[in-house]
A = this chain, B = another copy of it.
């Protein structure tokens, strides 16, 4: 990491080093709430956008200029891994992703291809290179992947699910097969994230969107174990790892995963999480995304609540507790970011002394 970044606030916060103010970015910041994004999206469907480095790079950069966030996150989707493994992915407007042939047994699993990100996910790496060139050191670039468990869930269910019956049947009735597939996916995730780092991302986030559907012991066995494997085996040179396990509130366990930062959803008090996790990790979060529906005054009050809850000192990356909602007014997102830029230095006074 010899790169000279003009704004490395997020990287310092990940390592709990002093910062002048709290850094901020927004999950799904390159997305549908931006008219500029929707304009690009008109030219190509979602998957084509992911697979066209110029388009992916273009929308990745938009929120840096329009919203003024402290990091870019590469525009992509967590499902590109299973797609690269040979699973046919359909993304129908307003319906969410759908794998036409979900993995339900050993034979389905045997048909999956082992991926090598350098070839099968080259389009993501090319987009990263393009973005890095365009950013020219202005802010760090975040890479990401789904967790092995979350990818397994999508691969087995095929699409969004209410009860996750199929993946639950798999882990309860064929735990050995489940572990075999998870191992296979974990290798792919490690390879993919390492390649992203190699291509220039400055930190990575692992999304465990579906860890929260498991009981504590099954979360350890089927999700956390594989996240830890990935983090351990990742080829990195100081690039921090953020872990976002939505709905999973055993923060002591998450803090022991090896991640540098735990991303916290809005249903918990981030100050309480800080008390529980102590100096072990930095924290990211955790404004209710729906607060951005409100007027400026409410956004201010609720944002200040989060800042105050985390309290004094470094180790806080401001973010929403989940992705920005598609019908939010971009002005409100910009107001939020500006508010943090202008009002969070009071929580970092110690560096002025």
Chain B: minimal CB distance from A112 (Å)? 24
A291 within 8 A of B: yes
A217 within 8 A of B: yes
Q: Complex formed: what's the CA distance from A321 to B218 in Å?
A: 14
Within 8 A of B (CB), among A247-262: 247-250
Q: Mark A157-168, 1 if CB is under 8 A from B, else 0.
A: 000000111001
A27 within 8 A of B: no
**Known A-B contacts A247-B267, A249-B249; A172 and B214 likewise in contact (beta carbons under 8 Å):** no
A169 / chain B contacts, CB cutoff of 8 Å? 290, 293-294
Chain B: minimal CB distance from A166 (Å)? 9
**Known A-B contacts A215-B266, A288-B218, A325-B163; A298 and B247 likewise in contact (beta carbons under 8 Å):** no
A217 / chain B contacts, CB cutoff of 8 Å? 305
**Known A-B contacts A248-B267, A267-B213; A172 and B325 likewise in contact (beta carbons under 8 Å):** no
A305 / chain B contacts, CB cutoff of 8 Å? 217
Q: Which of B168, B267, B294, B327 contacts A290 (CB 8 A)?
A: B168
Return the chain B residue nearest A217 by Cβ. Answer: B305
Q: What 10 A-B pairs come out closest when comparing CB atoms?
A: A168-B290, A172-B294, A169-B293, A215-B266, A216-B269, A215-B288, A249-B249, A172-B298, A163-B325, A173-B294
A293 / chain B contacts, CB cutoff of 8 Å? 165, 168-169, 172-173
Within 8 A of B (CB), among A214-232: 214-219
Instruction: Give me the interface of A with B, judged by CB distance under 8 Å.
Output: 163-165, 168-169, 172-173, 212-219, 247-250, 266-269, 288-291, 293-295, 298, 302, 305, 321, 325, 327
Chain B: minimal CB distance from A49 (Å)? 22
B290 near A164 with CB under 8 A, answer yes
Chain B: minimal CB distance from A75 (Å)? 21
Q: Complex formed: what's the CA distance from A61 to B248 in Å?
A: 37
Question: What are 23 A-B pairs at a CB distance below 8 A?
Answer: A163-B289, A163-B290, A164-B290, A165-B290, A165-B327, A168-B293, A172-B290, A172-B294, A172-B295, A172-B298, A173-B293, A173-B295, A212-B267, A213-B267, A214-B267, A214-B288, A215-B288, A215-B302, A216-B268, A219-B267, A249-B249, A249-B267, A250-B268
Return the chain B residue nearest A306 by Cβ. Answer: B215
New A-B contacts (19) at CB < 8 Å, excluding given A172-B294, A215-B302, A218-B288:
A163-B290, A164-B290, A165-B290, A165-B293, A168-B288, A169-B290, A172-B290, A172-B295, A172-B298, A173-B293, A173-B294, A173-B298, A214-B267, A214-B288, A216-B267, A216-B268, A247-B247, A248-B267, A249-B268
Most B-side CB within 10 Å, residue of A215, A298, A321? A215
Q: Complex formed: what's the CA distance from A164 to B289 in Å?
A: 11
A267 near B215 with CB under 8 A, answer yes
A321 / chain B contacts, CB cutoff of 8 Å? 215
Q: Complex formed: what's the CA distance from A334 to B180 in Å?
A: 32
A288 / chain B contacts, CB cutoff of 8 Å? 168, 214-215, 218
Chain B: minimal CB distance from A123 (Å)? 29
A165 / chain B contacts, CB cutoff of 8 Å? 290, 293, 325, 327
Q: Complex formed: what's the CA distance from A250 to B173 in Å?
A: 32
Return the chain B residue nearest A216 by Cβ. Answer: B269
A289 / chain B contacts, CB cutoff of 8 Å? 163
